[in-house]
């Protein structure tokens, strides 16, 4: 009798296709719609890599997808059950034909499209970079998507030395990175956040301001000579305040306001080069990635509630603790 158990892909000595655990949802709704499911273990095609996931970042966009916010606006609906997660880090488990730069056992981080909350993920090799030895798994899992979005935004807004930049939602995952990247370009940064996060923003080199009614006037008091650019990573009337400050529309970007995304949206084009630049900054000690909470994969619902609270700083991460080399 074969002694391997069901986690190794066998039941009562009868072979079956190996599977993995992943978080899925079968309908739009609150965090409780998330559940663990057994899905077929994916195999890498030519040019692809299968990664055993160690950490996956949780983003506000994941929560919006789960609630059907995007689907109600005609964006990104696909059949149920659906998966979530756009950024991850892990260990290469298998490579497809034509992949020469990576091999089994390599530690990597990268990005994907709505399937990172899982024990394994398959992506094109060009969506991966090597994880530095001293970068923690949690940080690596939290960097790829949020970091590239922030990097693209700062680039698109043409932030330059001497600019005063307003970052709405500056304490969040994207905002935290955007503040630092703008500062590295020599800009002065004013960041909106709840009062509890003001000291945190100061530690990043930003000048904090409370969001909400009267925001434009509070910013004018801090920057009487004007603000040159603004990035909206929070909503909450941020675009109206930015326009009221007289910022040129070409230098206002939004990541959250679908109604204005065609006019003011940031095209967060991801690339291996962009991610590698962010990794290099972190490795050099010039870019901080703050992870405020870590949850196991089975507690994805709790992680979503944490993110939806809306006042936390930095990132929330799912950690996957399954042994390397074993399918469920």
Same structural domain, 114 and 29: yes
**Parent domain of 181:** 158-264
Report the CATH number that the domain containing residue 125 is assigned in CATH: 3.90.180.10
Q: Please tell me whether residue 123 adopts helix, strand or coil conformation.
A: strand
pLDDT, one tens digit for every residue, the chain (328 residues): 333 333 344 344 445 789 999 999 999 999 999 999 999 999 999 999 999 999 999 999 999 999 998 888 888 778 999 999 999 999 999 999 999 999 999 999 999 999 999 999 999 999 999 999 999 999 999 999 999 999 999 999 999 999 999 999 999 999 999 999 999 999 999 999 999 999 999 999 999 999 889 999 999 999 999 999 999 988 767 888 899 999 998 999 988 755 544 444 466 689 999 999 999 999 999 999 999 999 999 999 999 999 998 778 999 999 997 554 444 3
Q: Where would I find the H helices in the chain?
A: 60-67, 137-156, 173-184, 198-203, 215-222, 238-244, 261-264, 272-283, 300-308
Closest CA to 326 of 101, 93, 168: 93
Same structural domain, 82 and 218: no
- Is residue 328 included in any domain, yes or no? no
Number of domains within the chain: 2
- Is residue 80 included in any domain, yes or no? yes
Same structural domain, 173 and 243: yes
Strands (E), the chain: 10-11, 14-15, 19-25, 34-40, 48-58, 82-83, 87-95, 107-111, 120-124, 128-130, 164-168, 188-193, 207-210, 229-232, 252-254, 291-296, 315-319
CA 327 remoteness from chain centre:
26
- Is residue 119 included in any domain, yes or no? yes
Per-residue pLDDT, 206? 98
Cα-based distances in Å from 39 to 23, 24, 43, 121, 230: 10, 10, 12, 11, 42
pTM > 0.95: yes or no? no
Same structural domain, 170 and 220: yes
Same structural domain, 12 and 128: yes
CB 34 within 8 A of CB 302: no
- Is residue 327 included in any domain, yes or no? no
């Amino acid at each position: 009798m074969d002694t391997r158990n069901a986690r190794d892909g066998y039941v009562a000595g009868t072979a079956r296709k190996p599977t993995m655990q992943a978080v899925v949802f079968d309908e739009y709704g609150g965090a409780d719609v998330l559940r663990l499911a057994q899905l077929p273990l994916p195999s890498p095609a030519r040019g692809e890599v299968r990664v055993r996931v160690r950490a996956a970042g949780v983003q506000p966009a994941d929560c919006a997808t789960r609630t059907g916010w995007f689907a109600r606006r005609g964006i990104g609906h696909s059949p149920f059950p659906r998966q979530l997660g756009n950024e991850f880090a892990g260990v290469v488990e298998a490579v497809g034909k034509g992949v020469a730069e990576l091999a089994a056992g390599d530690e990597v981080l990268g990005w994907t499209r709505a399937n990172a909350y899982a024990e394994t993920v398959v992506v094109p090799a060009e969506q991966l970079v090597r994880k530095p030895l001293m970068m923690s798994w949690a940080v690596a899992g939290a960097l790829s998507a949020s970091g590239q979005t922030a990097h693209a935004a700062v680039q698109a807004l043409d932030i330059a030395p001497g600019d005063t930049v307003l970052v709405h939602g500056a304490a969040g995952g994207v905002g935290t990175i955007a503040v630092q990247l703008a500062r590295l370009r020599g800009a002065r940064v004013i960041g909106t956040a709840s009062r509890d996060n003001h000291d945190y923003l100061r530690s990043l080199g930003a000048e904090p301001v409370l969001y909400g009614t009267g925001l434009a006037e509070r910013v004018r008091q801090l920057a009487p000579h004007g603000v040159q650019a603004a990035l909206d990573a929070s909503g909450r009337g941020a675009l109206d305040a930015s326009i009221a400050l007289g910022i040129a529309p070409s230098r206002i970007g939004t990541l959250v306001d679908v109604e204005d995304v065609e006019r003011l949206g940031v095209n967060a084009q991801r690339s291996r080069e962009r991610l590698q630049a962010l990794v290099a900054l972190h490795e050099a000690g010039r870019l901080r990635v703050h992870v405020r909470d870590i949850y196991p994969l089975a507690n994805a619902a709790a992680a979503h509630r944490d993110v939806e609270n809306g006042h936390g700083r930095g990132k929330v991460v799912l950690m996957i603790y399954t042994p390397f080399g074993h399918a469920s």
